[in-house]
């Protein structure tokens, strides 16, 4: 089904299959994670534990009805419903003997104590006996009138007891039995009115117990050889199974309704009553009587605790009713037989250790006190039809009650207990007059009483320093200053409805209030002093807009408040006035936090979910049997206390700080989880099961994602992450991605990163768990790594940041921060925010990065970037910003080194040109010694890494060459001073070229120069080869002559002349035809072909260098940073990771389609403008024509009037 990579984690050739994993860990064993050196060791330990608790299932060819174990527990004898008797080898899991003894069902079997005979009873009144080794018939016992349900052989092998549907219990005398004639003596020792379903007898044969369908059970005692009924237990349902505990403390009955009742052996009163979901068929009890094992129609094996009030254990695995259960002699396993044709062997888990405190009161609130380490409960006591309240406290050693004090105020309407464990406050109402009273929880005494008068009261809160009392009313918040009396400080309208809850920050600077309209407000307490100043700073309306009713609100720390509504929960930052994270989580009742603020707890009915506060992510859950009324975690995270509506307080260990193995999930599904996890371990899983995604294995802090990654189940990883399975690191910092990277499982790596990218927009904190994986991702060269880096440095998800600035800062403005969330104040005063101006965008890294130069993690990360095979990462803003920040930290080292080197070159030049004397040589010698110390320090820090940089070889050569030169000059033994000095100058000036790398403008050119030299190396070899070859040819054909006509036999002259020919200079004097032929060949090959080939090579080099400019630039920069960081050895062990926040100018980006649309709009706009102008011109013409017409009309009118006037005169 899966494409495995063939990588095995087993050592010494051992397979990882289930059969070869040996249990090495018990549930109560203290686990030392530090002693397990590698992750593989820890995972093997977990795998072994899971495999050891996965039941061994043996399939048989028929449905079993009863089984018995031999003394060595290597063989199981069982009967079946179709009349077969079989012998099963538990080690080989094979049926070694099988025979058909009857056509009717076998109900019961029993072994003789010497294990030589097998006794069988069933759907026939006759009991049959068979040879244990051969299953040959060995006798019959007749006497019952109907089905035989159960047989027991006495410990001395002399008696047999049987019960039957005929209502009798018979005693058979085996010592006088005649097997041939079947005349064994028998007699009835007990009778019931209906069928006797079960019997049991004590090992010493003194007591016998019966269980009948007539709903009664008899306890018989043997007195002087006769059996007599000592007592009768009356039940309200037919009894199907019975058992006597070996300690004789109690007897057990199991009935048709599924009740398991433990009765006091001597007093016959009920000690405990347990309830299964269906009828009980079989019972066994541990030797010490601490627990009871039952099986029946429910298909589950149930383990009931008799020692303490611990939750029952369900062993799930059978598919049909269970007919028989047997506890092994070592008391560590249960062997069961079921109608599903399977025999199963289970390792018995430990009961969950917990203490039950019965208060018989209604528990309203629970808390562990950080002041005195006690467990407190605020409870309601119903007496005489009136409500009274009290507070109790228990110690955590034996949970003895150590404090108990009543709350004396009548008519308490509300209470408040803030972050402090010292005080608790109560509001009482007496005839409309309200009073607040404070109690000292440590001393158990009333401290102060503050009359508040006739006021409206809805809710209240008290500041941590006890200086302010805030009372919520309809629309208003009433604030008192608390001293000797309560003095009104402020009374203002803040809300449009009733103020349901108020919380105050620990620094007493702000309060947050929520109203009945689901609107929340942030209010400045200090500004309350001035009535003319509006002090509600922020309004949160998202719950009102979503129509989600407000439920609860608590401060996680000074900055983060967690607000729970009916449909979702919000983490809101007071400091940044923005939503940090929104979680769609309905039906949350309330929230809580661990004292160290590392964990967040959500209560939903009978379940407590555990979230981590570092990334606001879900981890796991704790499931209880009933709904909870309150809960709290101890200050050390080791204990959790919950209260139920029946008044019981359950105190148990917490998974957060456990030192023993703890499977955190729904206890009723523990067996299914172990079975599923085992199928992953032994590679037998056929289908993904998402029901266990949020289970967790403590103290390793593993979930199934870690197992999927370790065992290379990439498809399961994908499905689990799509279902939002919790993604987190183990107790020692290994995420599923870390595991996949270490094992080199590319499919798992792809699956994890692909799904994390998918959920990033919804959960921007998702990558925090993989920040330690970045070096390994770089080294493996993950093909989509550049896409991951594009996400890891992108636009922040924080809303409410400014949009514009009025000044022109030097963009981008970078801020290094410990906070995940960018803060607007961090960029001030560099950025001046405004309502309009330059458009801003805020970016951030979504993981912490090692920015501090010189730390081991910083050096490791730099090295991984340089070694990364995915060159596209160098183009990402993440890598470029990271390198720029690091360069800003260490560039002073490079600049200082460059300045000192310039001084050295100046001194060397002055020595060469002007001051060639021993005294002046001291100056460059001293500078050279400084570089010698530097190089030796660099060598000591970088070790073998030092020899990977060619520039370091030049450094060593230059330093020691100068030292030798200076010493030889001073002792005056240098034969060729000028030549040595020339070589030294050459090396020194060549090394100086490397310092141009510190400037971005010349870094590219230096890289191009180095790349060009490397690319033409092969070309130069061929050029040298051809030059020498032709020099030899002409040396043979045409010897050179000097000015006197004498032949020059020095070959060096021929070689240099042909090198000069490569440069275009030639001398053809004295050439004959043969010489001209070779000369033409030379000129074609060397000056023409070779030079054009060189141009082509350098052209390709330039093209490649231009194409990879960012890559080459980044790698050169890394080398400079790396060199500086290696010298900062004092920071090696420092761990310092930071976020990078960036404010930059937002440049509008348009796609090609958007550009086309933009051009069309512009064209239409110009046309509209042109048409408008034309219309205006035409309008003016029309107006002018109208004016002219009006003038002409007026003139015509005048003429007409004049004409009519003259006519009238005539």
b/e sequence 249-266, b meaning 16+ C-beta within 10 Å: bbbbbbbbbbbbbbbebe
Cα–Cα distance measured from residue 272 to residue 763, given in angstroms and rounded to the nearest whole number? 49
pLDDT at 1048: 59
* Surface-to-core class of residue 831, CB atoms within 10 Å of its CB (0-12 exposed, 13-18 middle, 19+ buried): buried
Q: Flag the least confident range among 165-169, 418-422, 1054-1058, 1097-1101.
A: 1054-1058
Place of tokens 């990588």: 7
| Closest to 85 in 3D by CA, of 59, 57, 114, 65 | 65
Co-location of 597 and 687 in the same domain: no
With a cut of 60, say whether residue 904 has pLDDT above it. Answer: yes
Cα–Cα distance measured from residue 1188 to residue 409, given in angstroms and rounded to the nearest whole number? 100
Q: Are 104 and 124 in contact (CB under 8 A)?
A: yes
Kindly indicate the confidence band of residue 329, based on its pLDDT and cuts at 50, 70 and 90.
Answer: very high
Ramachandran sector of residue 1100 (left: φ over 0; alpha: ψ -120 to 50; beta: rest)? alpha
CATH number, domain containing residue 635: 2.40.128.630
351 DSSP assignment: P
Ramachandran sector of residue 3 (left: φ over 0; alpha: ψ -120 to 50; beta: rest)? beta
Co-location of 922 and 956 in the same domain: yes
Among 792, 811, 832, which residue terminates a domain?
792
Tell me the sheet residues that pair with 300.
316
CA distances from 592 to 504, 921, 1163 (A): 16, 75, 62
Place of tokens 């209906």: 194
| 306 domain residue, yes or no | no
Co-location of 606 and 578 in the same domain: yes
| Closest to 154 in 3D by CA, of 209, 218, 98, 203 | 203
Cis peptide before 812 (omega within 30 of 0): yes
Structurally, the chain folds into a number of domains equal to: 6
The whole-angstrom distance between residue 678's C-alpha and the CA centroid of its chain comes to 22
More confident residue, 1057 or 954: 954
| 113 domain residue, yes or no | no
With a cut of 90, say whether residue 195 has pLDDT above it. Answer: yes
Element (H, E) at 265: none
| Closest to 463 in 3D by CA, of 425, 495, 414 | 425
Tokens matching residue 441: 């929880």
Cα–Cα distance measured from residue 1034 to residue 1083, given in angstroms and rounded to the nearest whole number? 13
Cα–Cα distance measured from residue 317 to residue 669, given in angstroms and rounded to the nearest whole number? 10
Tokens matching residue 228: 């007599």
Strand pairing class (813-817; 1137-1145) = antiparallel
Q: Are 129 and 138 in contact (CB under 8 A)?
A: yes
With a cut of 70, say whether residue 153 has pLDDT above it. Answer: yes
Cα–Cα distance measured from residue 1198 to residue 1190, given in angstroms and rounded to the nearest whole number? 12
With a cut of 60, say whether residue 1152 has pLDDT above it. Answer: no
Tell me the sheet residues that pair with 200.
209
CA distances from 675 to 26, 619, 689, 894 (A): 17, 21, 11, 61
DSSP characters over 386-448: EEEEEEEEE-SSS--EEEEEEE--SSEEEEE--S-SSEEEEEEEETTEEEEEEEETTTTEEEE
pLDDT at 3: 33
Cα–Cα distance measured from residue 594 to residue 600, given in angstroms and rounded to the nearest whole number? 7
Q: Which residues contact 226 (CB under 8 A, 6 or more apart)?
A: none
Element (H, E) at 932: helix 922-942
Backbone angles phi, psi at 162, to 5 degrees: -145, 150
Co-location of 788 and 808 in the same domain: no
pLDDT at 537: 84
- Residues of the chain with pLDDT > 90: what percent? 48
Task: Tell me the Cα Rg of the chain.
Answer: 46
Q: Are 188 and 169 in contact (CB under 8 A)?
A: yes
Cα–Cα distance measured from residue 436 to residue 431, given in angstroms and rounded to the nearest whole number? 14
Per-residue pLDDT tens for 481-513?
Answer: 998 899 998 888 899 999 999 999 988 889 999
Among 770, 792, 814, which residue terminates a domain?
792
Element (H, E) at 277: none
Co-location of 1063 and 979 in the same domain: no
Q: Which residues contact 865 (CB under 8 A, 6 or more apart)?
A: 778, 873, 879, 883, 1114, 1118
Kindly indicate the confidence band of residue 291, based on its pLDDT and cuts at 50, 70 and 90.
Answer: very high
Cα–Cα distance measured from residue 1062 to residue 1044, given in angstroms and rounded to the nearest whole number? 27
92 DSSP assignment: T
Cα–Cα distance measured from residue 253 to residue 235, given in angstroms and rounded to the nearest whole number? 9
Kindly indicate the confidence band of residue 961, based on its pLDDT and cuts at 50, 70 and 90.
Answer: confident
pLDDT at 1203: 63
Kindly indicate the confidence band of residue 1175, based on its pLDDT and cuts at 50, 70 and 90.
Answer: confident
pLDDT at 1038: 64
Q: What is the mean pLDDT of the chain?
A: 86
Domain span including residue 935: 892-999
| 616 domain residue, yes or no | yes
Per-residue pLDDT tens for 627-680?
Answer: 999 999 999 999 999 998 888 999 998 998 888 888 999 888 998 999 999 999
| 386 domain residue, yes or no | no
Co-location of 1103 and 1205 in the same domain: no
Per-residue pLDDT tens for 370-427?
Answer: 989 999 999 998 755 567 899 999 998 888 999 999 998 888 999 999 888 899 999 9
**Within 10 A of 1007 (CB to CB), how many other CB atoms are there?**
19
Co-location of 673 and 774 in the same domain: yes
3-state helix, strand, coil in the chain (%, to 5): 35, 35, 35
* Surface-to-core class of residue 498, CB atoms within 10 Å of its CB (0-12 exposed, 13-18 middle, 19+ buried): middle
Co-location of 903 and 972 in the same domain: yes
Q: Are 1 and 686 in contact (CB under 8 A)?
A: yes
| 454 domain residue, yes or no | no
pLDDT at 1200: 67
With a cut of 50, say whether residue 10 has pLDDT above it. Answer: no
Greatest extent of the chain over all pairs of C-alpha atoms, in Å: 178
How much is the average pLDDT of 126-153? Answer: 94
Place of tokens 């009931």: 304
| Closest to 426 in 3D by CA, of 455, 393, 386, 390 | 390
From first CA to last CA, the distance across the chain in angstroms is: 126
- Residues of the chain with pLDDT > 70: what percent? 89
pLDDT at 503: 94
Co-location of 702 and 761 in the same domain: yes
How much is the average pLDDT of 956-983? Answer: 84
Per-residue pLDDT tens for 752-802?
Answer: 999 999 999 888 999 998 999 999 999 998 899 999 999 999 999 888 888
Co-location of 1048 and 1072 in the same domain: yes
pLDDT at 13: 33
| 75 domain residue, yes or no | no
702 DSSP assignment: B
pLDDT at 913: 87
Residue ranges in 994-1108 assigned as alpha helix (H):
1000-1015, 1017-1037, 1051-1062, 1073-1083, 1091-1107
| 1070 domain residue, yes or no | yes
Ramachandran sector of residue 581 (left: φ over 0; alpha: ψ -120 to 50; beta: rest)? beta
Among 947, 975, 999, which residue terminates a domain?
999
More confident residue, 1073 or 897: 897
How much is the average pLDDT of 425-445? Answer: 92
Ramachandran sector of residue 1070 (left: φ over 0; alpha: ψ -120 to 50; beta: rest)? left
With a cut of 70, say whether residue 715 has pLDDT above it. Answer: yes
Q: Flag the least confident range among 62-71, 902-911, 921-930, 1067-1076.
A: 1067-1076
Cα–Cα distance measured from residue 850 to residue 816, given in angstroms and rounded to the nearest whole number? 11
Strand pairing class (64-69; 185-191) = unpaired
With a cut of 80, say whether residue 957 has pLDDT above it. Answer: yes
Co-location of 987 and 1053 in the same domain: no
Co-location of 581 and 625 in the same domain: yes
| 908 domain residue, yes or no | yes
How much is the average pLDDT of 1046-1070? Answer: 65
Three-state secondary structure readout of 1142-1198 = EEEECCCCCCHHHHHHHHHHHHHHHHHHHHHHHHHHHHHHHHHHHHHHHHHHHHHHH
Cα–Cα distance measured from residue 846 to residue 47, given in angstroms and rounded to the nearest whole number? 34
More confident residue, 472 or 1098: 472
Reported pTM: 0.82
């Amino acid at each position: 089904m899966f494409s495995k990579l063939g990588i095995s984690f087993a050592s010494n050739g051992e397979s990882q299959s289930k059969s070869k994993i040996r249990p090495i860990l018990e549930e109560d064993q203290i686990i030392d994670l530090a002693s397990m050196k590698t992750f593989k060791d820890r995972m093997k330990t977990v795998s072994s534990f899971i495999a050891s608790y996965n039941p061994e299932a043996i399939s048989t060819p028929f449905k079993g009805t009863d089984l018995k174990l031999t003394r060595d527990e290597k063989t199981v004898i069982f009967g079946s419903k179709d009349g077969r008797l079989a012998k099963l080898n538990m080690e080989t899991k094979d049926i070694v003997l099988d025979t058909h003894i009857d056509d009717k069902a076998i109900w019961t079997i029993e072994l003789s104590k010497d294990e030589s005979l097998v006794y069988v009873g069933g759907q026939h009144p006759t009991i049959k006996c068979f040879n244990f080794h051969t299953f040959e018939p060995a006798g019959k016992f007749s006497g019952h009138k109907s089905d035989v349900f159960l047989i027991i052989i006495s410990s001395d092998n002399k008696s047999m007891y049987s019960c039957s549907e005929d209502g009798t219990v018979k005693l058979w005398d085996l010592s006088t039995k005649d097997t041939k004639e079947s005349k064994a003596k028998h007699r009835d020792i007990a009778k019931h009115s209906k069928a006797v379903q079960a019997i049991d007898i004590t090992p010493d044969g003194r007591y016998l117990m019966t269980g009948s369908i007539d709903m009664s059970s008899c306890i018989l005692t043997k007195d002087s050889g006769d059996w007599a009924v000592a007592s009768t237990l009356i039940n309200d349902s037919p009894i199907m199974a019975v058992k006597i505990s070996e300690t004789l403390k109690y007897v057990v009955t199991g009935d048709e309704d599924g009740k398991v009742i433990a009765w006091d052996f001597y007093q016959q009163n009920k000690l405990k009553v347990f309830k299964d979901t269906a009828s009980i068929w079989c019972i066994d009890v541990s030797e010490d009587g601490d627990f009871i094992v039952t099986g029946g129609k429910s298909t589950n094996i149930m383990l009931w605790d008799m020692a303490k009030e611990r939750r029952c254990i369900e062993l799930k695995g059978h598919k049909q009713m269970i007919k028989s259960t047997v506890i092994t002699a070592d008391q560590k396993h249960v062997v069961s037989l079921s109608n599903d044709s399977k025999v199963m062997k289970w390792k018995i888990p430990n009961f969950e250790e917990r203490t039950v405190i019965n208060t018989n009161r209604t528990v309203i609130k629970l808390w562990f006190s950080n002041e005195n380490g006690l467990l407190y409960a605020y409870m309601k006591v119903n007496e005489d039809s009136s409500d009274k309240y009290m507070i109790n406290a228990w110690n955590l050693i034996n949970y003895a009650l150590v404090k108990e004090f009543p709350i004396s105020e009548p008519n308490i309407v509300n209470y408040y207990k803030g972050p402090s464990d010292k005080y608790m406050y109560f509001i009482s109402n007496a005839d409309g007059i309200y009073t607040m009273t404070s109690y000292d929880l440590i001393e158990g005494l009333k401290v102060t009483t503050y009359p508040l008068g006739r006021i409206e009261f809805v809710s209240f809160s008290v500041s941590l320093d006890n200086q302010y009392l805030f009372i919520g009313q309809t629309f208003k918040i009433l604030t008192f200053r608390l001293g000797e009396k309560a003095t009104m400080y402020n009374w203002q309208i803040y809300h449009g409805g009733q103020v349901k809850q108020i919380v105050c920050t620990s620094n007493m600077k702000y309060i947050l209030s929520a109203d009945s309209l689901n609107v929340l407000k942030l209010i400045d307490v200090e500004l309350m002093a001035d009535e003319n100043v509006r002090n509600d700073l922020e309004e949160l309306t998202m719950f009102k807009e979503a129509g989600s009713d407000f439920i609860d609100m608590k401060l996680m720390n000074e900055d983060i408040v967690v607000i729970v509504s009916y449909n979702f929960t919000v983490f809101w930052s007071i400091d940044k006035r923005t939503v940090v994270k929104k979680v769609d989580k309905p039906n949350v009742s309330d929230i809580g936090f661990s004292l160290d603020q590392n964990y967040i707890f959500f209560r939903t009915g009978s379940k407590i979910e555990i979230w981590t506060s570092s990334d606001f992510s879900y981890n796991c859950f704790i499931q209880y049997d009933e709904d909870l009324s309150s809960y709290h975690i101890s200050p050390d995270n080791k204990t959790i206390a919950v209260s139920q509506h029946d008044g019981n307080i359950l105190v148990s260990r917490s998974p957060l700080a456990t030192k023993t193995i703890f499977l955190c999930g729904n206890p009723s599904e523990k067996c299914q989880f172990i079975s599923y996890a085992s199928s992953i371990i032994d590679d037998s899983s056929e289908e993904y099961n998402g029901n266990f995604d949020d289970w967790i294995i403590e103290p390793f802090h593993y979930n199934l994602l870690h197992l999927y990654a370790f065992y290379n189940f990439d498809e399961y990883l994908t499905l689990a992450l799509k279902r939002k399975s919790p993604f987190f690191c183990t107790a020692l910092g290994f995420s599923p991605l870390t595991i996949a990277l270490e094992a080199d499982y590319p499919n798992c790596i792809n699956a994890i990163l692909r799904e994390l990218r998918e959920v990033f927009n919804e959960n921007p904190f998702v990558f925090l768990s993989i920040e330690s994986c970045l070096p390994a991702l770089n080294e493996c060269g993950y093909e989509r790594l550049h896409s991951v880096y594009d996400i890891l440095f992108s636009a922040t998800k924080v809303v409410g940041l400014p949009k514009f600035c009025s000044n022109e800062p030097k963009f981008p403005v970078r801020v290094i921060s410990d906070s995940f969330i960018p803060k607007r104040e961090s960029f001030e005063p560099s950025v001046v925010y405004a309502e309009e101006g330059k458009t801003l965008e805020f970016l951030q890294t979504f993981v912490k990065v090692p920015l501090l130069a010189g730390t081991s993690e910083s050096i490791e990360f730099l090295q991984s970037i340089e070694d990364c095979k995915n060159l596209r990462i160098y183009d990402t803003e993440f890598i470029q910003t990271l390198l720029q920040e690091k360069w800003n930290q260490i560039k002073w080292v490079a600049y200082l080194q460059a300045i000192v080197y310039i001084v050295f070159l100046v001194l060397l030049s002055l020595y060469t040109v002007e001051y060639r004397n021993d005294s002046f040589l001291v100056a460059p010698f001293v500078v050279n010694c400084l570089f010698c110390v530097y190089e030796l320090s660099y060598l000591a820090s970088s070790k073998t890494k030092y020899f990977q940089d060619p520039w370091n070889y030049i450094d060593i050569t230059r330093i020691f060459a100068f030292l030798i030169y200076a010493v030889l000059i001073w002792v005056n033994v240098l034969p060729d001073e000028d030549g040595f000095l020339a070589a030294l100058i050459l090396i020194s000036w060549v090394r100086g070229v490397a310092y141009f790398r510190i400037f971005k403008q010349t870094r590219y050119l230096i890289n191009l120069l180095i790349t060009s030299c490397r690319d033409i190396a092969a070309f130069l070899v061929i050029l040298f080869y051809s030059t020498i070859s032709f020099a030899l040819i002409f040396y043979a054909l045409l010897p050179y002559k000097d000015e006197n006509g004498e032949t020059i036999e020095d070959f060096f002259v021929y070689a240099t002349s042909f090198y000069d020919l490569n440069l275009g200079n030639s001398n053809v004097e004295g050439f004959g035809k043969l010489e001209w032929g070779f000369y033409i060949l030379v000129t074609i090959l060397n000056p023409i072909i070779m030079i054009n080939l060189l141009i082509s090579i350098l052209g390709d080099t330039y093209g490649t260098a231009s194409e990879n400019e960012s890559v080459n630039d980044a790698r050169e920069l890394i080398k400079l940073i790396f060199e500086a960081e290696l010298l900062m050895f004092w920071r090696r062990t420092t761990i310092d990771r930071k976020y990078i926040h960036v404010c930059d100018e937002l440049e509008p980006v348009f796609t090609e389609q958007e550009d086309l649309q933009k051009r069309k709009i512009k064209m239409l706009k110009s046309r509209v403008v042109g048409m408008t102008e034309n219309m205006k011109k035409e309008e003016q013409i029309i107006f002018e024509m109208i004016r002219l017409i009006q003038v002409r009309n007026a003139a015509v009118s005048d003429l007409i009037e004049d004409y009519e006037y003259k006519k009238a005169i005539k």
